[in-house]
Amino acid sequence: MSADPDVMRYFPGLLDRTATEALVKRIRAGFDQRGFGLWAVELPGEAPFLGYVGLAVPAFETHFTPCVEIGWRLAAAHWRKGYATEAAAAVLDAAFGPLGLREVVSFTVPHNTPSRMVMEKLGMVRDPAEDFEHPRLAEGHPLRRHVLYRIGAKGWLRRRSGAAGG
């Protein structure tokens, strides 16, 4: 998945097997440390691994850190079937339920429409005043500019209770 140029077109590079194994190790360590992380997405009976959707703590510093981020990456064969949105809603239920978080953010490059659509479908809100330059990318890098979306526990729980009530 992370070696597919289509999947990685909004990231600065592809991951080879060694880099992916290191990522999985970091994800596992994060689960041990925090009790949350990037969950594997499974389609029961059909596909054991579609990709991941979950929570992470960005290691860089900028105006909105420290924070908890929601993120997603699915193999291209599984795009546009609603899986990212469905899995992300389950992640926010966990974030604002058992995990007791107050706010979750998400960010991407402005032209990553699929990812922004997932954020917007979840009810996450962007304030253009919070757009930022990704501190891990050099000045002038074409992917440096990012948009930031936020959602708070109250907003999510209100949305969920509204949905349950029809």
What is the contact surface with ligand COA in residues (CB under 6 A)? Answer: 7, 10, 71-74, 79-85, 108, 112-115, 117-118, 121
Which CB sits closer to ligand COA, 76 or 154?
76
CB of 38 to ligand COA, least distance (A): 11
| 85 within 8 A of 121, measured Cβ to Cβ | yes
Helix (H) or strand (E) holding 27: helix 17-34
CA distance linking residue 28 with residue 69, whole number of Å:
16
Minimum distance of ligand COA from residue 81's CB (angstroms): 5
* C-alpha to C-alpha distance for 78 and 51, rounded to whole angstroms: 9
Which lies closer to ligand COA via its Cβ, residue 88 or residue 101? Answer: 88
Nearest residue (CB) to ligand COA, 11 versus 98: 11
The CA-atom distances, in angstroms, between 82 and each of 38, 85, 86 are 18, 5, 6
Q: How far is the CB of 6 from ligand COA (least distance, A)?
A: 8
DSSP 57-96: --SS--TT-S--EEEEEE-GGGTTSSHHHHHHHHHHHHHH
Cβ distance to ligand COA smaller for residue 13 or 100: 13
CB of residue 131 to ligand COA, shortest distance in Å: 14
